[in-house]
Amino acid sequence: MQLDAVLAATLGGLLWAFGVLGKRIGVEGASDDSKQIRATITIFLYSLTTTVTPFIDLLRMDRAAVAIPLQDEAWRAQVIFIVMCGLASGLGGVLGTLAFAWAAGANSSLISMVENGCYTLFGAVFISLYFLQNPHISMYVGGALIISGTVVANMGQSCCRTRTDQTKGDSDSDSASDLSESTDEDCSVIVPTRLRKRCVVLAVLAGTCWGLGPLGKKIGVSVAPPGHQHAYTTCTYAAYISCTAVVPLCQLLVANRQKLAESLGDRGFRWQLVGTAVCGFISGIGGLVSTYAFSRASSDGAAIAMIENGVYTMCGALMIALVFKERPSVSQLFSATLVLTGILVSGSLVQVRRCLYVQTCTLASQSQPGHSLQLSAGSAIGSAPLSRKKITLLGDESVSMKLEEVAVKAELAEPDSDRATSSAFRAATDVETSEGKELLSGRFKEWLGKAVNVEDCMTIVSNLLRLLDQHQKAPACMASADFPASLPATNDSAKAALEQWRKFWIEDGRTAEEVSIQDSEQLLVDAVAQLMAQGKTEQVKTEPKEETTDDLDDLLNGTSSARLHKKHKSKKGDEDGADLQAPPSAEDLAYESDTQYEEVDVSKSLEALRIEASSYDKIDGLYKRLEKSSRGRPAYWNSTSRKMSYLYWNKGWKISFAFGSSKCAATVKDVEGVDLPIEPYPVSWKVIDKSTDDQKKKTALTMRVIDESVYASTLQNKDGGQPEAPLFPTATRIKKREKKMEKSVEPAVEGSPAKKKREAGEAKPKRASGATKAAAADDDEAAMVEAAAGQDSDDENKAPSAQRSSQHGSDSDDDKDDSSESSGSESSSEEVKPSPKAIAEVAVTIKPSFQAMNSAARAFVSATGLMKLPAEQAHAKAQKLRDTLFDRIRKGEK
């Protein structure tokens, strides 16, 4: 628990205690007939004046800061709970003030103790139940003491004089008129037994209703991101305190007009209301400060409520006793002592335990320098389940203590650093749990280590537990839209890490048949290694190309080929942006459906979508929105493909050449709450694989459906933008190039003319350029294989292709003997003449490998987060990844 939260809770409780005094002042000297109406007027005025402070704070705040919580969907979803808690607290205020009115002078301080004791207890209980927190044993002990004090207050004697027969008669009467014969002084001192019990019951009910107040304030500030606690605190408290005046206002509207006029006509009562208003204004400041304390303690709401209400209870009762000079009886003092002890026990033992731990860690570090502190999982980690799923990751109070222990350890290791190290957080999360072990994976520990400070980590764990309970499954939780928004990211590097973390969990949350990020990365390495091995074995060569740059090298270096983009657009026939298809007619859009759907307005939906990298060329392209909806959803038509295709909804999103049909070329599951299947979409598309005979749908990890405006802005980013063309050839292009390869390769002969001349002893030819060239083949993939095989980032070990090139040097190298040149030429001549069968086998093998590389490369780039980084950082990171990748390939690692 932070020190500023404890100080804010203490100050808030002190200022809030003026509210107890203000309500007591308002009902002072009230007769039996006017007690209820004066209590109603007093609590209404008190509730009204407490709203002054938060609204003044709202007016003085920057409009942009106030708009942050008002535009936050998470906070707006909690407003209904804040309003309900405010209404309940307002009802408690009416009951509590009425209890003051019926209590005599000697009992009002006791009634204050009972009210606030129950308020303290139930406030902590409600917070623990709602947020699934695991209270410390001291809170149970404190609760038992508070309940005992309440029982003693109800059983104790309130009369200071010996009961006479007349007093007994008064005790048996429940009518206030029985006391009318006594003096005003007697009425202010003696209360009949039944009335005393009524006051205690009202005080208990008031404390219970008030207990919902801290819960409402805690709910409102629990979603506050770091740096915006003030705005969330003010908005939450303004909404809460405004609702507390609703019940008193309703009671005032239905009150007896004659009694209301008589009470307001009393000059003495009007002066008392002035004192109530002043106390209410001061109390409003205390309520705002105490709400801020909740925002500073992310996972210690119950302890903050105990501290705040303990100070509030003690100071409120003390103020009443001093101002009105009350003399409580021995039983009343004993009851008040029990209540106060329970409050102190509930809030202080946890702090003492933490202070002792910090002192122990400090002494251990000083006595044994360099000693690694061992964190006790048994003492710091609660074994009780913290959610209805029984996931025992970290207890709520244990979360705070555990992370504070880690902060102490990190501070001892690095005194000059205010940030806990990654190793310390790994140690903090090394806890064996019966369920939810996936949460303690290496990624979770590593991401915790990237947090800005300890407070952010505490917020992360608290929000994580809350989301776990909502989604019932860890991967679904991580892939939800709420999770990234709930985690703090105060700088660009933290935001990039957050996006990478979210994508990791989205991949892991997919179905078992889909490929994860790690598998995609390994698949990429295996595919490149396999192609390089084939290139070395079969010695596949092609004619020189205009562009010999390795596509994978371009990808990892964050660059793109303008020529590839031009070829891609030429293929589509869309250089000038003209549509290849006319808009579909009404006959084309006709479909049959057994269900009647209402026509919806699609004007607010995206006007155009871009589909790319689907592994099925005919469905890629620019999709424009249709004028009318289909099955209550927007629909789109492909304007850039030579064959018309449609994107529509039919028990899931589908892409088909027949509008509205259940038979489709691509499909993806519908996600509840998501209007369109655009990126980032948590489920992968399944596309027909035309390369197989059965043409079943297979998962296409690389397929993307994105907003056309986002796609256009991405193309303008030359440094870190997405490549404008497919990274690797699609299935259609591979088939065409296989046919060209078979036609262009000539049958191999037993010996070349150069070899026959060398066998006959003829002189060495000046150049052997024809012998080293491969057969003509228009194959970009083979060029990429050759470039990858000859690539060497360290310039130390040359690839075989580079060695072969060096064997065919210039004619000026006269000091080399003819025999070595002859053997080298013969070797090259034999290697570059593969048979058509061998080339066909290589082409068949390369085809699925390139498809795998196409899918894996995009997944790999998405996982590394290159597109989110600035150009210089992305280039440096990509270069490092590229060097590591080729080093692993050369060493034969998997």
Is pLDDT above 50 for 855?
yes
Q: What confidence tens digit (pLDDT) does each residue in 5-16 have?
A: 767 777 877 887
The whole-chain average pLDDT of the chain stands at: 62
Range name among 325-339, 463-477, 804-818 with the lowest pLDDT average? 804-818
Compute the CA torsion angle 201, 343, 107, 105 (nearest 10 deg): -130
Count CB neighbours of 651 within 10 A. Answer: 10
Element (H, E) at 470: helix 454-471
Selection from 305, 403, 384, 385 nearest residue 347 by Cα: 305
pLDDT at residue 253 in the model:
85
How do the domains of the chain map onto residue ranges?
3-159+181-353, 372-508, 518-543+737-751+770-807+819-891, 561-572+598-717
Range name among 233-247, 371-385, 448-462 with the lowest pLDDT average? 371-385
CA distance 291 to 869: 38
Which residue type, as a one-letter code, is found at position 422? S
Range name among 199-203, 271-275, 389-393, 794-798 with the lowest pLDDT average? 389-393
Is pLDDT above 70 for 594?
no
Is pLDDT above 50 for 79?
yes
For β-strands 646-649 and 653-656, DSSP reports them as antiparallel
Q: What confidence tens digit (pLDDT) does each residue in 797-832 have?
A: 444 444 444 444 444 444 444 444 444 444 444 444
Q: What confidence tens digit (pLDDT) does each residue in 712-726 have?
A: 665 555 444 444 444
Which residue type, as a one-letter code, is found at position 651? K
Q: Mean pLDDT throughout 101-106? A: 60
Selection from 593, 739, 729, 575 nearest residue 659 by Cα: 593
Which residue type, as a one-letter code, is found at position 523? L
pLDDT at residue 858 in the model:
67
- Per-residue pLDDT band for 66 (boundaries 50, 70, 90) equals confident
Selection from 308, 283, 197, 319 nearest residue 19 by Cα: 283
pLDDT at residue 507 in the model:
46
For β-strands 697-700 and 685-688, DSSP reports them as antiparallel
Q: What are the structure tokens assigned to 62, written together?
A: 């920057």
pLDDT at residue 308 in the model:
73
Q: Would the CA dihedral through 799, 800, 804, 806 be positive or negative?
A: positive
Q: What confidence tens digit (pLDDT) does each residue in 260-298 have?
A: 888 888 888 888 888 888 888 888 888 778 777 776 665
| Residue with the larger pLDDT of the pair 589 and 243 | 243
Q: Mean pLDDT throughout 753-758? A: 53
Selection from 292, 285, 294 nearest residue 51 by Cα: 285
pLDDT at residue 655 in the model:
92
Tell me how far the alpha carbon of residue 235 is from its chain's centroid: 22
CA distance 236 to 231: 8
Interior CA angle at 257 toward 253 and 259, to 5°?
A: 115
